[in-house]
Amino acid sequence: MPGYQQEYDVVVLGAGPVGQNAADRARAAGLSVAVVERELVGGECSYWACVPSKALLRPVLAVADARRVDGAREAISGSIDPSGVFGRRDRYVTNWDDTGQADWVGDIGATLIRGHGRLDGPRQVAVATADGEPLVLTACHAVVVCTGSRPLLPDLPGIADARPWTNRQATDSSSVPGRLAVVGAGGVGVEMATAWQGLGSAVTLLVRGSGLLPRMEPFVGEYVRRGLADAGVDVRLGVSVRALHRPDPAEAVELDLDDGSKLTVDEILFATGRAPLTDDIGLETVGLTPGNWLDVDDTCRVRGIDDGWLYAAGDVIHHALLTHLGKYQARIAGAAIAARATGQPLDTQAWGAHAITADHLAVPQAFFTDPEAAAVGLTAEQAAGAGHRIKAIDVEIGDAVKGAELFADGYTGRARMVVDVDRGHLLGVTLVGPGVTELLHAATVAVAGRVPVDRLWHAVPCFPTISELWLRLLEAYRDSFFTVV
């Protein structure tokens, strides 16, 4: 096919942030790279997830922060202007125009091929291009699968006719539904409940379980639940949708709930999980099962493939569906491919790491709710379950940290530090409260670096910032070893 060569060192399926990082790391090592993308270059994160959701949330949280400060709250009058918020979001997603990101692929020396790529046997990728011309690529060293995930909708009566929102409609819609039901207790559910309530919807959050953000420390979900309720969200725990009814596209959606009640809304968002986008990428041609998550080793090489030429990173490997983690995995994959292609040992520092292996000890996650929630590493329950002897140290941030008091009048939040008592370093940190997401990287460094608690005493926090929380946590840990008689 004119303009395209048939053979590359590396072929990357998917040009989202994960695929871009894999391509960039391979190109930096001098390998030739083709990147195949069937939608927008930049992927889900750039256009329907991380970027637009934070663009929608920031005005809501900014107003909430102002209302927590005497003298500032009096300046807040009226409500948020949805058109201004939508315009801001549209700027940050470049009006769904991927020209800039497509140009970046060319700027690093990679070839962008638009079309649907499928594996077609070992080291082969067949691309159905937009112009209908067939194209078969050969990868000399590796194919990297970075195709991401899709929303997983429940199989419920009436769901097709109801035309529910997924994360895409929740982040690209430019009209505010009068009544919105959000189904799901995870990050997408609580963030979108926060955003749309702030934009003017009457939001009902339906949660099958007993709490929000169930993978974090239990107290986080309670703080977030109270924050949502205080903002006006109707949070209903322990309830599920049984069926949906929407006889006409212009009419409301009626929900049958398993507690026997009904709920009528203008739109419904299902934030009930994700499935890998591996059902139509030719896995069957290399002995793998279409639609499955891909199992990889610590260099992100897919297990069960002869000669080890297939790699995967991001959502498709199901370690944690977080963009920043996927980008990290892609850098590991790209570096491992480059090392193997050039005969370098995997423990060389030439690739920017002491060892080219993916370390999932300290995976950070942040949710921009009100209050914000952030965590890295293990919860106390996870750490104890893994056999560690631990101490879990809790601090009420607003009561103990002067910087928090100055940040917001009546500041409420909590922090937990999980310490491995035998080894003397942190296993996990969890934070909930206004502004705490900006504290997360310090916690990530401490957990990932296994910094001894004794050494953390010498990392002096600046007064008066919320970071002085670290000193309060260390003091509480020290005091936990003394019993007052």
* Order of all β-strands in the sheet with 262-265: 241-245, 253-257, 262-265
The pair of three-digit structure tokens given for residue 4, joined into one six-digit string: 């395209």
DSSP 8-state symbol, 278: -
Give the whole-angstrom CA distance, residue 166 versus residue 401.
39
Number of residues that this document lists for the chain: 485
Q: Is 238 annotated as a binding residue?
A: no
- The reply, when asked if residue 239 is annotated as ligand binding, is no
Q: Is 166 annotated as a binding residue?
A: no
Q: Is 277 helix (H, G, I), strand (E, B) or coil?
A: coil
User: Is 188 labelled as part of a ligand binding site?
Assistant: yes
Residue type, position 325, single letter: L
Backbone angles phi, psi at 261, to 5 degrees: -90, 170
* Token digits of residue 258: 């398993």
Which residue's structure tokens are 């189904």? Answer: 183
Say how many Å lie between the first and final Cα of the chain, rounded. 83
Task: Record the tokens describing residue 436, joined without a space.
Answer: 């705490």
187 annotated as ligand-binding: yes
Please tell me whether 449 is known to bind a ligand: no
Q: Any known ligand binding at 16?
A: no
Does 273 appear as a known binding residue? yes
Task: Establish whether 191 is an annotated binding residue.
Answer: yes
AA identity, residue 283: L
Return phi, psi of residue 196, to 5°.
-75, -30
Does the annotation place 315 within a ligand binding site? Answer: yes
Distances in Å between the alpha carbon of 203 and those of 153, 251, 257, 424, 429? 20, 18, 16, 45, 31
C-beta of residue 85 within 8 angstroms of C-beta of residue 125: no
Are 144 and 19 in contact by the 8 Å Cβ rule? The answer is yes
Closest CA to 443 of 336, 364, 387, 355: 364
Question: Cα dist. 470→244, 365, 431 in Å?
Answer: 48, 19, 11
186 known ligand binder? yes
Cross-strand bridge partners of residue 418: 392, 428
Q: Which residues are annotated as a binding site for NAD(+)?
A: 184-191, 273
Q: Which residues are annotated as a binding site for FAD?
A: 54, 117, 147-149, 315
Q: Which residues are annotated as a binding site?
A: 54, 117, 147-149, 184-191, 273, 315
